[in-house]
Amino acid sequence: MSKNSRLVYSTDQGRVKEEKEVASAPEGDGIVRIMRETKGRKGKGVTLVTGLQMEAAELKKLAKRLKQLCGTGGSVKDFVIEIQGDQREVIKAELEKQGHTVKLAGG
């Protein structure tokens, strides 16, 4: 048996499900940072929202609200909300309205 093998099926209990670790939101300084990034995206810009200390489900709801507000697509990856296009001002206004401390980061 090789070093990187893992048990997938056992004759005693059938298919063995691998338990995944539940990730928790990273600790931050309480400031939400909004930045625009094009690196590694073939020139297409996205707006990144970081520093929100929420659970994954809450973060997805907020991302959905921001996408609807901006009229664009987006996603949530590793507790960072990505919204297509340069939507920094719209997102900043919405998050401030919700009571978050917001800073525009980057250029």
pLDDT at 26: 66
Rounded to two decimals, what is the model's pTM? Answer: 0.73
CA distance 40 to 16: 37
CATH number, domain at 47? 3.30.780.10
Per the domain annotation, does 86 fall within a domain?
yes
pLDDT, position 107: 62
How many Å is the maximal CA-CA distance in the chain?
58
Instruction: Specify if 1 maps to a domain.
Output: no
Evaluated on CA atoms 38, 41, 42, 47, the torsion sign reads negative
Domain assignment of residue 61, yes or no: yes
Domain count, the chain: 1
Q: What is the DSSP code (8-state) at residue 35?
A: E
Exposed / middle / buried, residue 81 (Cβ in 10 Å: 0-12, 13-18, 19+): buried
Taken in order 54, 59, 61, 63, is the CA torsion positive or negative?
positive
Please give the Cα distance from 82 to 85 (Å, whole number).
Answer: 9
**pLDDT tens per residue across all 107 residues of the chain:** 456 666 666 667 766 666 666 666 667 778 899 999 888 778 788 999 999 888 889 999 999 999 999 999 999 998 999 999 999 999 999 999 999 999 998 76
Q: Is residue 94 part of a domain?
A: yes
